[in-house]
Amino acid sequence: MTLDKFDQAILEALQQDATVPVAELASRIGLSATPCWRRIQRLEAQGLIRKRVALLDAQRLNVGVTVFVSVRTSHHNVEWLQAFHQLVSSIPEVMEFYRMAGQTDYLLRVVVPDIAAYDRVYKRLINGADLGDVSSSFAMEQIKYTTQLPLGYATA
């Protein structure tokens, strides 16, 4: 499967604003509405468009403190892994969760209103799993944030 210029243009436009009407999107990229809609449906069916969401303002919703949490563990078995994944997935303040290569086993991005709220998340983590080391770094300033993926590499 290859993405042509229309597919890439659709994906680029939807990453900027998923609420754009199909007729307007089609006009922007040089298609009529029906072929544009069919392409969007195909891109969704193929899993390239996973979902369409609203991006909210963390500051205005009182979760403007971002904490990056590095976790190391000596447990590397399936049971521990499943239990830890379930624990972390149940914490709504955890926005992103990665298994890493290198010195850190897991990296989490957590959003909270303040240090006290982060402390509650931290206690939930350490009470719920046997962890070797938990290191927290508080973001001082967000320099760049985007949800737009670079499409120049796309071959789907």
Burial class (CB in 10 A: 0-12, 13-18, 19+), 137: exposed
Residues of the chain with CATH 1.10.10.10: 5-45
**How confident is the model at residue 1, as a pLDDT?**
64
Q: Report the pLDDT value the prediction gives residue 76, as an integer from 0 to 100.
A: 87
Q: Would you say domain 65-138 falls under CATH 3.30.70.920?
A: yes
What does the mean pLDDT of the chain come to?
95
Strands (E), 22-115: 65-72, 94-99, 106-112
Q: Are 84 and 98 in contact (CB under 8 A)?
A: no
Bridge partners of residue 133, in order along the sequence: 72
For the record, the structure tokens of 88 come out as 């972390």
In the chain, which segments carry CATH 3.30.70.920? 65-138
Q: Are strands 106-112 and 65-72 parallel, antiparallel or unpaired?
A: antiparallel
pLDDT at 156 over 60: no
Tell me which amino acid residue 77 is. N
Candidate CATH numbers 3.10.180.10, 3.40.228.10, 1.10.10.10, 1.10.3720.10; the one for domain 5-45:
1.10.10.10
pLDDT in tens, 14-47: 999 999 999 999 999 999 999 999 999 999 999 9
pTM of the model: 0.89
8 A C-beta contact, residue 139 and residue 67: yes
Pick from 94, 98, 155: nearest CA to 124: 94
Region 60-78: mean pLDDT is 96
What percentage of the chain exceeds 70 in pLDDT? 99
